[in-house]
Chain A
């Protein structure tokens, strides 16, 4: 089946109507992908995550005409772009937002030149076969360029809304999306990548999204990046995020994994010049039979850079999560400060967590630490709440929620936290009362 999956995806990639100026990228990707093998559990990087279900699902050649029901983040004034089933929905998007970005398809020759210069530069050869597949199939994408010392007033909110319904007879489809963000010296911006499902339709929505995001943050520039994955519980999502940091650049990222039957996210951060800082947080909350896999890798290539990475996860029902956090300190990266923490809560004895915080260090004058814990809710904390008249169930929900709420509180944009809380609370609560209370109070 694995070979059939590759062949099928390759055919889909070859059937795109290509952009003439990107054909060399397409060809390179097709070449690499055609030689790829679908990784199995014997591959160290895929030890815990099986692609069997993905390879079993067949995907149609074209996506159905989309009815965009793209969610809005209430209270957040943002430039919003809606990409429905892989196509930009100009009606649902803000005109101002469309002005901000360059669509690959509409790029003028000089813009094409810039895009071609950046595309694949950050990713280099770091991605796995799905990044090759993305290369093989690009015929559109978004490019955000923030010029020197410019500051984007409002966040750029890109909603990838996929919608199909098995009950309506829609076939599952594949979407390859590409986002390129470049911040010039001293620029500042906020980008929200929002992968949404469609609540308004019934049935299985087993679409396959393969997203690649490349980000280059210039000298002294700062990017706040949200990557929120709230897709339907039957969807497949494979994401590659590649970030390059120049001198004194700053990256603040928040990665959420909530939906899908299978999510695999690779996040690669490169400290390239020195003085840069990476602040990366993440939350994954799989339930039922969901599988969520985060692989992060921070490359400290030079001296005087810092990284602070915190990921938290709560696994419920028969869910399975994998976290692999790698910090790689190259021989010249002296005076590095890097910390990684990964905490996990298992709520049932059918859920599973596999975590591997890795340190690979080749420089001596560094301070690195990582910590990982796996546990259940603390008995004493629960007892404390119960002794104050809170039922056991409610106490458990509150504690679970508190476990990740800390990271939500740290978000730069309060509106996003406010919007996410009820959705998370509902995961544990199922009781609207309590989720309302929780979100109201906190």
Chain B
């Protein structure tokens, strides 16, 4: 057995690894939000008139809305005038033409995070779009993707190059006034990724976006739009980190997925925003709106591993509009220390024979609160629709909480909805069995937790699954015994 001192030093060494700050000269807007700020962001991006108006409309809607308070989370009131809504590394002003022109310090950041931007270093078959504070800094493998006809670029560029697509699909899944945070995002979104997969194309590699908040006092508002045309397939990964800071930072993103007839989109997230320290100081407030529309025979699958953020408010949803469409949601949400998570999904069954599966695993440790909140709605036309939901919670420690709020609404007799939920703890028997075989407590708990999450991890692309397993281990440090 390791001595206490050894364990302590191990724990210290294994704290939030992505918590470093990079000194990069940035152009940051002073805190505050009004129409001029919205116009400034729009002008900075050289956006066409219609988009500026679109943003302003969202801003005006936002002013009339109130912050939602129904979630099982508590945080001090956010002062929206105290946040800077635009920050960009200065060296990005003249857009780099290729990776060679990108500020080496910026690239070093991603190297440090283990995100290889250099194409030769890239893991085989993953194209990465890196978003640093508010702008996209680099997108790899663009040429190769273009060959296949796949469009993968920062949304700010897509606005100029493919205005019709953006005009047609942006806001079609998450309208401007969908909710408070989506409206805010629509007004001030800075950048994000745009993906278009043409008819019948199977995207030759995994696409990935990596988000990084660096500047203090800023918020990050990115927007992702993925359109999979008829019969196409894409797998998309998203990762996030932020430096350790004492103040709370706001992250309000919007993700829209459109799966046209017969298309399939697989969207995976490993969210590791800075969760705050062990006393609950600092950390990211993560208020994210993610939604997908699945047309006839389409399939959308959300997989998420949520280990970071001080506050998580996130409900990746599927609107199963077309007949025979499928929605899936696999989630592991782990909270430790003073983290709070209120996360889950919505499955809106509109078409006939639509199917959805929800597997949610919540793990709470320390003094954290972890809630699953999900909605399954069977519309009046959802003949033969089927849903299965399983949400399990694991409690590690007697000061944390695990909650389940499933909403089930059914208006069709032939729709079948099943919901199961359990809550338990790692039992003494399980621990004893492991210890008997020479596995120490911490290892044993991590093993059991990994087993608990297996169903979800197996849905993740391989590299992510490894990362997710490690993340869990780190996030659980110090929560046992």
Closest to A370 in B: B421
Report the separation of the CA atoms of residues A400 and B398 in the bound assembly, to the nearest whole angstrom: 43
Flag whether A348 is at the interface (Cβ < 8 A).
yes
Contact of A369 among B378, B397, B417, B420 (CB under 8 A): B420
Contact of B415 among A348, A360, A362, A374 (CB under 8 A): A374
Q: Is A64 an interface residue (CB 8 A)?
A: no
What is the minimal beta-carbon distance from B145 to any residue of chain A, in angstroms? 44
Residues of A contacting B410 with CB < 8 Å? 344, 346, 352-354, 374
A367 at the binding interface (Cβ < 8 Å): yes
Given contacts A358-B404, A375-B416, contact A352 B423 (CB under 8 A): no
In-complex Cβ contact of A373 among B380, B398, B418 (8 A): B418
Bound-state Cα–Cα, A358 to B421, Å:
9
User: Per-residue CB proximity of A91-115 to B under 8 Å, as 1/0?
Assistant: 0000000000000000000000000
A-facing mask of B410-431, CB < 8 A → 1, else 0? 1111111111111111000000
In the complex with contacts A364-B396, A364-B400, A346-B419 CB distance below 8 A: no
**Distance, CA A373 to CA B421, complexed state (A):** 12
A371 and B416 in contact (CB under 8 A), knowing A358-B403, A364-B395? Answer: no
**Chain B contacts for A372, CB-based, 8 A:** 406, 408, 417-419
The reply to whether B403 and A359 form a contact with Cβ atoms under 8 Å apart is yes
A14: min CB distance to chain B, Å: 34
Cβ of A4 within 8 Å of any chain B Cβ, yes or no, is no
Contact with B along A387-422 (1 / 0, CB 8 A): 000000000000000000000000000000000000
Query: Which residues of chain B are near A367, meaning CB under 8 Å?
Result: 422-424
A373 to B416, CA, bound (A): 7
Please indicate the chain A residues that have their CB under 8 angstroms from the CB of B413 in the complex: 345-349, 351, 376
Q: For B380, B396, B411, B424, which residue has the most chain A Cβ atoms within 10 angstroms?
A: B411
Note all chain B residues with C-beta closer than 8 A to A366.
395, 423-425
Name A326's closest neighbour in chain B (CB-CB).
Answer: B405
Whether B402 is near chain A, meaning CB under 8 Å from some CB there, is yes
Q: Is residue B54 contacting chain A, with contact meaning CB distance below 8 A?
A: no
Q: How far is the CA of A374 from the CA of B145 in the complex (A)?
A: 45
User: Hey, which chain A residues are within 8 Å of B397, CB to CB?
Assistant: 364
B-chain residues with CB within 8 Å of residue A359 when the two chains form the complex? 393, 402-404, 421, 423
**Residues A331 and B398 in contact in the complex (CB < 8 Å), given A361-B423, A369-B420:** yes
A37 within 8 A of B: no
> Contacts of A48 on B, CB cut-off 8 Å?
409
Decide: A371 and B419 in contact? CB cutoff 8 A: yes
Q: A349-B412, A352-B411, A353-B409 are in contact. Are A361 and B420 (CB under 8 A)?
A: no
Considering only CB atoms, which chain B residue lies closest to A368 in the complex?
B423
Tell me, rounded to whole Å, the shortest Cβ–Cβ distance linking A200 to chain B: 35
Decide if A334 touches B398 in the complex (CB within 8 Å).
yes
Q: How far is the CA of A351 from the CA of B412 in the complex (A)?
A: 7
**A362 to B, closest residue via Cβ:** B401
- Which residues of B sit under 8 angstroms from A346, Cβ to Cβ? 410-413, 415
User: Does A65 belong to the interface (CB within 8 Å)?
Assistant: no
Q: Do A361 and B401 have beta carbons less than 8 Å apart?
A: yes
Chain A residues 314 to 370 lying within 8 A of chain B, measured CB to CB, are 331, 334, 344-370
Give A352's nearest chain B residue, CB to CB: B411
Contacts of B417 in A (CB 8 A): 372-375
B421: contacting residue among A347, A351, A357, CB under 8 A? A357
Known contacts A331-B398, A364-B397, A365-B398, A356 near B405 by CB under 8 Å: yes
Interface check B399, CB cutoff 8 A: yes
Interface centre among A44, A345, A347, A355 (most CB of B within 10 A): A355
- Give Cα distance in the complex from A372 to B418, angstroms: 6
Q: Which residues of B contact A371 (CB under 8 A)?
A: 418-421
CA distance A359 to B402 in the complex (A): 8
Chain B residue nearest to A324 (CB atoms) is B407
For the A-B complex, the count of residue pairs with Cβ-Cβ distances under 8 Å equals 118
Assess whether B50 is interfacial by the CB under 8 Å rule.
no
Number of interface residues of B (CB under 8 A): 36
Interface of A, secondary structure class, is strand
Residues of chain A contacted by B75 (CB below 8 angstroms):
none
Q: A363 to chain B: which residues have CB within 8 Å?
A: 395, 398
Q: A346-B412, A348-B413, A354-B409 are in contact. Are A360 and B401 (CB under 8 A)?
A: yes
The contact of A361 among B70, B403, B411, by CB within 8 Å, is: B403
Point out which of A361, A362, A367, A369 has the most chain B C-beta atoms below 10 A from its C-beta: A361
How far apart sit A367 and B421, CA to CA, in the bound complex (Å)?
A: 11
Contacts of B395 in A (CB 8 A): 361, 363-364, 366
How many angstroms from the CA of A219 to the CA of B393 in the assembled complex?
Answer: 33
**Which of B400, B405, B407, B410 is packed against the most chain A CB atoms within 10 Å?**
B410
Q: A366-B423, A372-B419 are in contact. Are A331 and B408 (CB under 8 A)?
A: no
> In the complex, how many angstroms separate the beta carbon of A92 from the nearest chain B beta carbon?
42
The answer to whether A358 and B415 have CB atoms under 8 Å apart is: no
Q: Is the CB of A356 within 8 A of B421?
A: no
- Give the docked Cα–Cα distance between A334 and B428 (Å): 14
CB distance from B30 to the nearest CB of A (A): 36
Give complex CA distance A346, B385 in Å.
13
Q: State A375–B387 Cα separation when bound (angstroms).
A: 10
| Bound Cα distance A372, B401 (Å) | 22
Select one of A350, A353, A357, A361 contacting B419, CB under 8 A: A357
The closest CB in chain A to the CB of B412 belongs to A349
Complex Cα–Cα for A363 and B396 (A): 9
- Determine how close the nearest CB of chain A comes to the CB of B340; give it in whole angstroms: 13
Q: Which residues of A contact B403 (CB under 8 A)?
A: 358-361
- Known A354-B409, A356-B407: A373·B70 in contact at CB below 8 Å: no
Encoded as 1 (CB less than 8 Å from any B CB) or 0, chain A from 298 to 316 comes to 0000000000000000000
Bound-state CA distance A26–B362 (Å) is: 46
CB contacts under 8 Å to B, within A146-205, are none
Pair A354/B412 contact, Cβ less than 8 Å: no
Question: Does the CB pair A361–B393 fall under 8 Å?
Answer: yes
B130 → chain A closest CB, angstroms: 39
- Min Cβ gap A265→B in Å is 19
State which of A345, A348, A352, A358 has its C-beta within 8 Å of the C-beta of B409. A352
Contact of B408 among A364, A368, A374 (CB under 8 A): A374
Q: Nearest Cβ distance between residue A328 and chain B, in whole angstroms?
A: 9
- A390 CA / B101 CA spacing, docked (Å): 80
Q: How far is the CB of A281 from chain B (nearest CB, A)?
A: 19
Q: How far is the CB of B418 from chain A (nearest CB, A)?
A: 5
| A356 engages B424 (CB within 8 Å) | no
A331 to B401, CA, bound (A): 8
The residues of B that contact A44 with a CB separation of less than 8 Å are 70
Q: Mark B376-387, 1 if CB is under 8 A from A, else 0.
A: 001010000000
Q: For the complex, what is the distance from the CA of A48 to the CA of B411, rounded to whole Å?
A: 13
Q: Which 3 pairs between the two chains have the least Cβ-Cβ distance?
A: A364-B395, A346-B413, A376-B413
Given contacts A355-B408, A358-B406, A362-B401, 19 further A-B contacts (CB under 8 A): A345-B413, A346-B410, A349-B411, A349-B412, A349-B414, A351-B413, A354-B409, A357-B404, A359-B421, A363-B395, A363-B398, A364-B425, A367-B422, A368-B422, A368-B423, A369-B421, A371-B418, A372-B417, A374-B378
- 17 A–B pairs (Cβ distance < 8 Å), ordered by A: A331-B399, A345-B413, A346-B415, A354-B409, A357-B406, A359-B404, A359-B423, A360-B401, A360-B403, A361-B395, A361-B403, A370-B421, A371-B421, A373-B419, A375-B415, A375-B416, A375-B417
A-side interface residues toward B, CB under 8 Å?
A: 44, 48, 331, 334, 344-376
